[in-house]
Structure 1
Amino acid sequence: MSAHPNRGFTLIEMIIVVTMIAILASIAIPSYKNYVMRANRTIAKTALVELQARQEGYYVDRKRYATQLTTLAYPADPAWVSATGEPDTALQTDSIYRIDLSDVTATDYTLTATPVGAQSDDSRCGTLSIIASGRKAASGSDGVDCWR
């Protein structure tokens, strides 16, 4: 027996561990990104539905729709929504969607959430929109399924 037993890892053991970590990372990172994009979509959908409710309340009182988001007590027109769900007056580093109100008439409007920043990579759903009648749409490859 040697007075100093071998300690440490062999090169083969290190290569196996590094390979296993690489395989796990190649599975986990895309799954995490999809999860974050889906969570961010939920924030945008919530903002659009909330604004739709505000528009309907405005319509009940005035028999016409508001022409600007600021009339609906939103901070700006257009507004940006962060990953925390808070609306903001300008594009920030944590902004995930730009919220616009367009095509407003006395009886119709379109609310749109356009992805910005890291959320711009969302090709599955892309831009989300909702109109006065309640019809919901998405510009991405999954289309209306994005609202389910």
Structure 2
Amino acid sequence: MRHFNRAIFAPGRARQLALRGFTLIELMIVVAIVAIIAAVGYPSYISHITKTKRVAAEACLSEYANYMERYYSTNLRYDQDSAGDKNTLPTLSCASDLSADYKFSFAATPGQSTYQVNAVPQGSQASRDTECNTISLNQAGTKTISGTGTVASCW
């Protein structure tokens, strides 16, 4: 006859095996804690993403301003080149990267000595960034916004 280890079949051991799992109450408490953390963290995450995209658009506006200054250095005016061709805003790689979130354009036709480049939020960025909304940069380096916030908080 085989001998079995009595410790395996002892009543105390069976009780220890039963205590190794989680109860439904414990699991529900963990799920509730995770839900609370997610509810607090998600809006903060969305706010961070919105600000990050705005900062990228501001950097792109700076690239457009650099383009305009190079254009002016070559042609001594912002609106047209020496052949009389109108200056059209090129599509820079930064604008392509942000095309789902911002549309870049001149505020109006550039003048001989003036221009203003705008970054208009598109899609979800437009609904999330009402504080700053359209951000702009002109030939004097003046930064403006069309939202409810301040220029200092948006730039």
Range of TM-score over shorter length: 0.7 to 0.9
The C-alpha deviation readout for 1:22-71, integer Å capped at 9, x for no partner, is: 1110121111111111111111001101111111121122121043113x
TM-score by length of 2: 0.75
- Runs of 4+ with deviation above 6 angstroms: none
* 2:120 pairs with 1:101: no
Q: How many residues align?
A: 132
What corresponds to 2:53 in structure 1? 40
Query: What aligned pairs does 1:62-81 form with structure 2 within 5 A after superposition?
Result: 62-66=75-79, 67-70=87-90, 74=91
Partner Cα separation in structure 1 for residue 45 and residue 104 of structure 2: 25
- Unaligned runs of at least 5 residues, structure 2: 1-10, 80-86
- Unaligned runs of at least 5 residues, structure 1: 76-84
The farther-off stretch of 120-129 and 2-11 is 2-11
Larger-Rg structure: 2
SS at match of 1:141: coil
TM-score by length of 1: 0.78
Contact 2:120 2:133 (8 Å CA) reproduced: yes
Specify which structure has the higher proportion of strand.
1
Of all paired residues, the percent bearing the same amino acid is 34
- Aligned CA RMSD, in angstroms, stands at 2.2
